[in-house]
Amino acid sequence: TLNFSAGPGALPAAVLAQVRDAIAALPETGVSVLGMSHRSDWFLAILDEAERHVRHLLGLSDRYAVSFLQGGSSLLFATVPMNYATPAFAAPEYVVSGYWSARASAEAGRVGPHRIAWDGQRAGFRELPVLEQLDVDPRAAYLHYVSNETIEGLQFALPARPASVPLIADMSSDFLSKPIDAWHFGMIYAHAQKNLGAAGVTVAVIDRELLTRIPGGLPHILDFRTQIAHGSNYNTPPVFAIYVLTLITRWLRDDIGGLEQVQRINEGKAARLYAVLDEMSDAVTIHAKRPWRSQMNVAFTFGDARLDRAFLDTAEARGMSGLEGHRSLRGLRASLYNAVTPQAVEILCETLIEFALQRA
């Protein structure tokens, strides 16, 4: 597949074939996956397997709960402060490093007081701070950041140690794309439609210590303890999205060989594309400054809306899709999630080179 969309993004061909069959009828039950009850033994086993894969891939200890939620990462922008920003702590701190972290920060502001620990907006969201060097109140409820800014194509280096306050990361666009030290985090969340399959489910990994801070009186569905207590089956979960997530994490473990392997592949893809774009630096501008270039989303432009459009047309004629930049930044963007193959990136690179040569 030549799908470079930022989300929902590409799926591995082998998984797609399995999903196609499962929509017709699951081999285990003879019933379409779309008609499977969330109370069935089949689905309980799928939920169990999904959690086991996430735990295995991240090496999670029992200190962490894994939960499958709905409402997307946007609902977490609201529920994170509702659950943790209590009067027992100083206001939570937010890193504003791009479009999505700005959305998270604004949403926290609707819930209660929060503090902006760093703001890159005036500099155009082209660089990132060093998390460990931020001046964060040690009494703050938590520090929130977005590990990979999907729109601007900026990616943080992994924190080298646990922060002085619980670190909460929206990893929607780089979750399970490389190994991480999960124990450096108080909470990690990521929606599925980038590296984990279909839209509809959001994975949350939560240090159980944080659960003890949740105030009473939240609506049950917004209280993080509810889905954990009910094995992510308190109300009807997104059965299909969780099924696809299970297949993808199985594929990551068995076909790819784990997160070190996928990191190696992802680094190779990104290095190849950036090298080609750097070769074309007279004609192309990459949005992110070099040290913060994302391995997942490459935002760039030929500097002229007509040229960007011409490239899109050329790429589309060759079967590529999803290369249009986000409406807030425009330009072009290639997303290189786990399911995008090195071969697909090679075709994109060849097309870029030919396009540039024709115009030189």
327 labelled binding-site residue: no
170 labelled binding-site residue: yes
**96 vs 128: CA distance, rounded Å:** 9
**346 vs 276: CA distance, rounded Å:** 10
183 labelled binding-site residue: no
**83 vs 306: CA distance, rounded Å:** 47
18 labelled binding-site residue: no
8 preceded by a cis bond (ω within 30 of 0): yes
150 labelled binding-site residue: yes
Q: Which two tokens stand for residue 343?
A: 């071969």
**30 vs 310: CA distance, rounded Å:** 48
253 labelled binding-site residue: no
Q: What are phi and psi of 195, to 5 degrees?
A: -100, -5
Q: Which two tokens stand for residue 181?
A: 């030290």
| 100 among known catalytic residues | yes
Given 170, 174, 207, 223, which residue is catalytic?
Answer: 170
Given 194, 223, 251, 269, which residue is catalytic?
Answer: 194
**191 vs 196: CA distance, rounded Å:** 8
- Name which of 182, 238, 290, 186 is nearest 69 in CA terms: 238
**183 vs 166: CA distance, rounded Å:** 10
Q: How far is the CB of 296 from ligand PLP (least distance, A)?
A: 10
Q: How far is the CB of 237 from ligand PLP (least distance, A)?
A: 15
Which residue's CB is nearer to ligand PLP, number 73 or number 338? 73
Please count the other Cβ atoms lying within 10 Å of the Cβ belonging to residue 164. 14
Which residue's CB is nearer to ligand PLP, number 170 or number 223? 170
338 labelled binding-site residue: no
Q: How far is the CB of 353 from ligand PLP (least distance, A)?
A: 29
Residue type, 259: L
Binding site for ligand PLP (CB under 6 A): 7, 72-74, 100, 146, 150, 170, 172-173, 191
Which residue's CB is nearer to ligand PLP, number 142 or number 355? 142
| 194 among known catalytic residues | yes
Handedness of CA 124, 129, 134, 139 (dihedral sign): positive
Q: Which two tokens stand for residue 21?
A: 């069959």
Which residue's CB is nearer to ligand PLP, number 146 or number 165? 146
Q: How far is the CB of 75 from ligand PLP (least distance, A)?
A: 7
Distances (CA, A) of 36 to 29, 41, 49, 212, 345: 9, 10, 16, 35, 37
Q: How far is the CB of 232 from ligand PLP (least distance, A)?
A: 17
Q: How far is the CB of 142 from ligand PLP (least distance, A)?
A: 17
- Name which of 197, 235, 241, 221 is nearest 33 in CA terms: 241
Which residue's CB is nearer to ligand PLP, number 239 or number 352? 239
Which residue's CB is nearer to ligand PLP, number 73 or number 301? 73
Q: Which two tokens stand for residue 78?
A: 């609201």
SS3 321: strand
Which residue's CB is nearer to ligand PLP, number 163 or number 241? 241
Is residue 145 within 8 Å of 170, Cβ to Cβ?
Answer: yes
- Name which of 188, 193, 199 is nearest 173 in CA terms: 193
Q: How far is the CB of 93 from ligand PLP (least distance, A)?
A: 18
Residue numbers annotated as active site: 100, 170, 194
Binding site members for pyridoxal 5'-phosphate: 100, 150, 170, 193, 235-236
Binding site members for L-glutamate: 39
